[in-house]
Structure 1
Amino acid sequence: MILEGKFTLKAPIQKVWDSLLEPETLLACVPGAEKIEKLDERTYDCVIKQKVGPISVKFKFKTVLT
């Protein structure tokens, strides 16, 4: 999956990062996201569904921010 784009936010950097790390915000921003659950400060449990033509897949994974 490739996410591209650019825009400027008029907000303090820390406030932007805090918002981006909230599951509700991520669900709204990530195409196909069905579940993003924060397990701790750096770990998320995720489910993302994608479809290309007649083929659809569902990815279930944990991600750790480093």
Structure 2
Amino acid sequence: ARANNLEVAGFEFIESIDGRTVVYDVNTNTNYNPDVEKVAPKSGPGSVAAYLKRVEAEVGGLVSVGRR
């Protein structure tokens, strides 16, 4: 949030099987706003998908969450 000069943001996260806290959603406004998405330099959902793809590559595959 600091790197993007966000003063207020909501973070949703889960704990992975190996105990890491993984952020899966960051909300910078109250709801999805298509007007903001049109003028933003990157797609919000696309950026999250790209990040998750990088995480998947780092851990060597998909990580199952919710079952222990």
> What TM-score results when the alignment is normalised by the length of structure 2?
0.28
RCO (CA 8 Å, sep 6+): is it higher in 1 or 2?
2
Between Structure 1 and Structure 2, which shows a larger proportion of helix residues?
2
Between Structure 1 and Structure 2, which shows a larger proportion of strand residues?
1
